[in-house]
C-alpha cells in the first residue's frame, strides 16, 4: 500500500539539523584564537594592542546593548539616521548576525520566554543550550510569522546592513583592528587580540544574558519567567544582566535605579542631551511599584496568597452590549477596541507602548465593518474568543503587569445575548 506523503516524511536527522556554516565560523574563530594566543601570548603583546582589544570589545558590546537590543529590538528610544547607521555598522563588529536576524529572534524570545519550542534560546532547555547550543542548529520557527517586522523591513539602514552583513562584519571585526595594529607594527597581535579574542569575548558576554541571567540571580520584578538580575553579567554586558526587567522591555533602561550597573542607559541619556537620541521610553512608575510590591508580598508576606499570582479579568466597569460597543466604535473612528474574555478594552492610548507592536493589536480590534455583517453578536463573540486565546498564550502568555494594564484600560464588561 503506498504511503501517504505525511507518513513518508522523515524528520531531519541531527546532522541535517546542524547549522554547519554557523558551527564552522564559531569553531574556527575559537580555534584560530587559541593558536594565535599560543604563538603571540599576552606577555609579548604591546600595550597598545591590548588597549585596542578592550576598547573594541566594549564598543561591540555597547553596540549590541544600545543598538541591536534597546533601539532596534524594543524601540525604547528614537534616533536620527546618523546614530542609527553608526550603531548598525558598529553592531556588525559583534559578529552576531544582522540586525534583522538578531532582532526577530530576540522578539521571539520575549514573546515566548522559556517555551522550549518557540523561544529560540529557552533557558528551560538547559544552560548550555541557552548559552550557545541553539546557534548550532537550524530551526524553523513556526511562530516567527506572528512577530512584528514591519519597522525592520521599512528601515533602509536595516535592509542595507542585512544585505551587506558579511562584508561589513569582516571589515569591522577583523580587517579594521588589523589595520590599526599596523600603526605600531603589531598587525598580527591586533588580528589575534583585538580581532579574534575580542570577538569571542563579546560573543560569550552576550550569550551570558541568555544563559546565566536566566539561571542565577534575583527576581525583584517578576518570577513569571526565568529572567534574573545578575550583577556579574550586568558588568560584562554594559548593563544587560539586570535581566529581570523582562516585563518592561520597552524601557530604555535595564533598571531604573541609579545604583544599578547600567552604563548603557547613561550613554542613551547622554545621546539625548547632545541631540542624537529622543523620545526615551520608560515603564510607568505605578507599574514598577506594583511589580515590586507584588514580588515583595509574595516572597516575604504571603508566599501562597493566590491574589498576588492570579490572572483575572475582573474590572470595575459598566456592562456593555454589542450595540453599545458599536456606538462606541462608530463615535470615534480609528480607535482600537478589543474584547478580551469578558472585558471591552480601549487600547488606543497603549498602542505605542505595546511591546509586540501596534499592528498586532489592530489585527484583533473590533472594527466598524464587524457590525455590517449578519449576527454581529456572533462576530464579536468569535473575535473575543480569538483575542482571549491569543492574549493567554496563543500569541503571548501575558504577564501579571499586562493583565493589570488591560483591566485599567477596560471601558466595559461585555454582555452577549
CB of 209 to Zn ion, least distance (A): 7
User: For Zn ion, which is the closer residue by CB, 186 or 251?
Assistant: 251
State in angstroms the smallest separation of the CB of 343 from Zn ion.
Answer: 28
Q: Which is nearer to Zn ion, 74 or 199 (CB)?
A: 74
**CB distance 372 to 355 below 8 Å:** no
State the binding string over 37-56 for Zn ion (x if CB under 5 A, else -): --------------------
Is 60 or 191 the residue whose CB approaches Zn ion more closely? Answer: 60
Residue 120 or 249: the one with the smaller Cβ distance to Zn ion is 249
Other residues' Cβ atoms within 10 Å of the Cβ of residue 126: 13
* Closest distance to Zn ion from the beta carbon of 268 (Å): 15
Shortest Cβ 347–Zn ion spacing (Å)? 22
Q: Retrieve residue 188's grid coordinates.
A: 598580527
* Closest CB 123 distance from Zn ion, rounded Å: 8
C-beta of 56 vs 87, nearer to Zn ion: 87
* Closer CB to Zn ion, 110 or 199, in the complex: 110
SS3 335: coil
Number of residues located near Zn ion, criterion CB under 5 A: 2
- Which residues face 343 on adjacent strands? 340, 413
As measured in angstroms, the least distance from the Cβ of 288 to Zn ion is: 17
Q: Considering only 40-48, 125-133, 178-186, 222-230, which stretch makes contact with Zn ion by CB under 5 A?
A: 222-230
Q: Which is nearer to Zn ion, 189 or 249 (CB)?
A: 249
97 vs 249 by CB, closer to Zn ion: 249
Judged by CB under 5 A, which stretch of 57-65, 145-153, 224-232, 254-262 contacts Zn ion? 224-232
Phi, psi of 112 (to 5 degrees): -120, 40
C-alpha cell at 417: 445575548
The phi, psi pair for 304, rounded to 5°, reads: -105, 10
Judged by CB, which is closer to Zn ion: 249, or 357? Answer: 249
Q: Cell 471591552 identifies what position?
A: 344
**Residue written as grid cell 524601557:** 251
Question: What residues from 149 to 168 belong to the interface with Zn ion (CB under 5 A)?
Answer: none
Residue 379's Cβ-count burial label (10 Å; 0-12, 13-18, 19+) is middle
Kindly indicate which of the ranges 75-83, 188-196, 216-224, 226-234 contains the residues binding Zn ion, using the contact rule CB under 5 A.
226-234
- Cβ proximity to Zn ion, 83 vs 122, nearer residue: 122
Please tell me what DSSP assigns to residue 229: B
In this chain, which residue has its C-beta nearest to Zn ion? Answer: 249
Residues written for the chain: 417
Measured from the CB of residue 378, what is the shortest distance to Zn ion in angstroms?
A: 39
Please report, for residues 83, 126, 217, the alpha-carbon distance to residue 276 in angstroms, rounded to integers and kept in the order given: 6, 40, 34
Secondary structure (H, E, C), 321-346 = EHHHHHHHHHHCCCCCEEEECCEEEE
Q: Which is nearer to Zn ion, 126 or 318 (CB)?
A: 126
User: CB of 63 within 8 A of CB of 91?
Assistant: yes
Residues 334-373 close enough to bind Zn ion by CB under 5 A = none
List phi, psi (to 5°) of 386.
Answer: -65, -40
126 Ramachandran zone, left/alpha/beta (phi>0; psi -120 to 50): left
CA-nearest of 51, 254, 50, 87 to 168 is: 87
CB of 244 to Zn ion, least distance (A): 9
Helices (H), 214-312: 231-236, 263-273, 285-296
For residues 18-37, which are near Zn ion according to CB under 5 A? none
Q: How far is the CB of 55 from Zn ion (least distance, A)?
A: 25
How far, in Å, CA of 78 to CA of 60, rounded?
A: 20
The answer to the question of residue 217 lying near Zn ion (CB under 5 A) is no
Contact (Cβ atoms closer than 8 angstroms) between residue 222 and residue 401 = yes
Minimum distance, C-beta of residue 232 to Zn ion, in the bound complex (Å): 16
Classify residue 307 by burial, with Cβ atoms within 10 Å: 0-12, 13-18, 19+. Answer: exposed
Residues in region 228-257 near Zn ion by CB under 5 A: 249
Q: Least CB distance from residue 98 to Zn ion, whole Å?
A: 17
Which residues of this protein are in contact with Zn ion, per CB under 5 A? 227, 249
Amino acid at each position: 500500500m503506498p504511503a501517504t506523503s505525511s507518513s513518508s516524511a522523515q524528520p531531519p536527522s541531527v546532522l541535517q539539523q546542524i547549522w554547519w556554516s554557523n558551527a564552522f565560523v564559531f569553531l574556527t574563530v575559537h580555534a584560530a584564537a587559541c593558536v594565535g594566543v599560543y604563538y603571540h601570548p599576552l606577555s609579548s603583546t604591546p600595550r597598545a594592542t591590548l588597549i585596542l582589544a578592550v576598547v573594541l570589545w566594549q564598543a561591540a558590546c555597547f553596540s549590541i546593548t544600545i543598538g541591536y537590543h534597546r533601539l532596534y529590538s524594543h524601540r525604547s528610544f528614537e534616533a536620527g539616521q546618523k546614530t542609527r547607521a553608526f550603531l548598525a555598522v558598529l553592531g556588525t563588529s559583534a559578529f552576531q548576525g544582522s540586525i534583522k536576524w538578531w532582532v526577530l529572534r530576540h522578539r521571539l524570545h520575549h514573546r515566548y520566554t522559556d517555551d522550549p519550542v518557540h523561544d529560540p534560546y529557552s533557558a528551560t532547555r538547559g544552560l548550555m543550550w541557552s548559552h550557545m547550543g541553539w546557534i548550532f542548529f537550524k530551526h524553523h520557527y513556526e511562530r516567527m510569522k506572528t512577530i512584528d517586522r514591519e519597522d525592520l523591513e521599512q528601515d533602509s539602514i536595516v535592509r542595507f546592513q542585512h544585505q551587506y552583513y558579511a562584508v561589513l562584519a569582516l571589515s569591522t571585526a577583523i580587517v579594521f583592528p588589523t589595520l590599526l595594529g599596523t600603526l605600531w607594527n603589531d598587525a598580527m597581535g591586533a588580528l589575534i587580540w583585538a580581532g579574534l579574542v575580542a570577538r569571542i569575548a563579546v560573543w560569550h558576554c552576550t550569550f551570558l544574558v541568555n544563559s546565566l541571567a536566566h539561571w542565577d540571580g534575583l527576581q525583584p520584578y517578576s518570577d513569571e519567567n526565568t529572567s534574573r538580575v545578575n550583577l556579574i553579567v550586568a558588568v560584562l554586558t554594559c548593563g544587560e544582566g539586570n535581566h529581570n526587567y523582562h516585563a518592561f522591555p520597552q524601557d530604555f533602561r535595564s533598571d531604573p535605579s541609579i545604583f544599578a550597573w547600567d552604563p548603557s542607559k547613561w550613554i542613551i541619556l547622554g545621546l539625548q542631551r547632545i541631540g542624537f537620541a529622543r523620545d526615551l521610553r520608560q515603564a510607568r512608575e505605578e507599574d514598577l511599584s506594583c511589580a515590586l510590591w507584588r514580588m515583595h508580598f509574595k516572597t516575604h508576606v504571603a508566599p501562597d496568597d493566590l491574589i498576588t499570582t492570579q490572572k483575572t479579568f475582573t474590572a470595575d466597569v459598566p456592562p456593555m452590549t454589542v450595540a453599545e460597543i458599536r456606538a462606541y466604535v462608530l463615535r470615534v473612528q480609528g480607535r482600537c477596541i478589543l474584547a478580551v474574555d469578558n472585558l471591552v478594552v480601549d487600547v488606543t492610548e497603549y498602542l505605542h507602548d505595546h511591546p509586540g507592536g501596534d499592528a498586532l493589536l489592530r489585527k484583533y480590534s473590533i472594527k466598524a465593518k464587524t457590525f455590517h455583517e449578519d449576527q454581529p453578536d456572533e462576530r464579536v463573540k468569535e473575535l473575543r474568543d480569538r483575542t482571549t486565546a491569543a492574549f493567554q498564550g496563543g500569541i503571548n502568555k501575558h504577564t501579571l503587569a499586562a493583565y493589570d494594564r488591560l483591566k485599567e484600560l477596560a471601558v466595559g464588561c461585555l454582555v452577549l445575548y
